[in-house]
Amino acid sequence: MKKVFQPASLLLLGAFALLTTACTCTKPKPAPPPEVKVAPTPAQTPVPVKQEEVKAVPVEKPAEPDIEALNKAGYLKDVFFDYDKFAVRADQRDGLAVNAEWLKKYDKVKIRVEGHCDERGTAQYNMALGEKRASAVKDYLASLGIDAGRIETVSYGKEKPFVKGHNEEAWAQNRRGHFVITAK
C-alpha cells in the first residue's frame, strides 16, 4: 500500500513547523529607561556663625569656716590615758588613725595637742605628765604619716579640767590629749 499525502495533511504539517520555529524566537530586549539628569547641587559653603565671647564667670568659693568653728565641729577626737601613764592605749589608736586620715585630707591644717591630767598629784608632776602625753600623741601621729612640723604640744597639767569632779569618772575624762586646730 502506498501512502498518499493529502493537501490538507500537508497544510497541517506546514502550520506545525511554523509554530514550532516561531516559539524558539527570543523576545526583544526592552529599551533602557530614559536617563534622568539631576542638576548638580551648588557647593555648600559654611555659613559663618557669630561666636560669642566666653567670659569667665567668677566662682565664689564657699566661705571657709573659721578656726573656732572647726574646733567646735569636733573633727579631731580626744585621746584618753590611764592613771599615771602617758603611753597611747590600744583602744585609742583607732581614734588617732581617724584623726590622722582627716589631717592627711586637710594637709594645710596645723594643730596643737594639749596634754591634760586629773587633779591628783602635784602641779609640777602633772605638768610633766601632761607634756609626755601630748608628745606621745604627736609621735603616734607622726608614725601614721603626719608631718610633726604641723603639730605643736603644750601641757596644762591639772589646770584645765574637762570635767569637774572628784571621782574616777571625772578623772578618766580629764586624763587626755586634746586637739586644737591652730591654722588652716
Residues 102-147 pLDDT 10s: 999 999 999 999 999 999 999 999 999 999 999 999 999 999 999 9
Residue 23: burial class (beta carbons within 10 Å; 0-12, 13-18, 19+): exposed
Q: What is the grid cell recorded at 47?
A: 555659613
| pLDDT for 173 | 96
| pLDDT for 68 | 82
In 3-state terms the chain splits into helix, strand, coil percentages (rounded to 5) of 40, 15, 50
- Mean pLDDT of all residues in 162-178: 95
Comparison of pLDDT for 30 and 77, the residue scoring more: 77
Confidence of residue 17 (pLDDT cuts 50, 70, 90): low
138 to 17, 109, 113, 147: CA distances (angstroms): 123, 14, 7, 9
pTM: 0.64
Residue 160 has pLDDT above 60, yes or no: yes
Residues 70-98 as b or e (16 or more Cβ within 10 Å = b): bbeeebbebbbbeeeebebeeebeebbee
How is the chain split into domains, by residue range?
Answer: 87-183
Residues 40-58 pLDDT 10s: 655 566 666 566 665 665 6
Among 47-51, 115-119, 162-166, 171-175, which stretch is predicted with the lowest mean pLDDT? 47-51
| pLDDT for 71 | 76
Q: Which fold has domain 87-183?
A: 60s Ribosomal Protein L30; Chain: A; (3.30.1330)
With the C-alpha atoms ordered 151, 95, 78, 170, is the resulting torsion angle positive or negative? Answer: negative
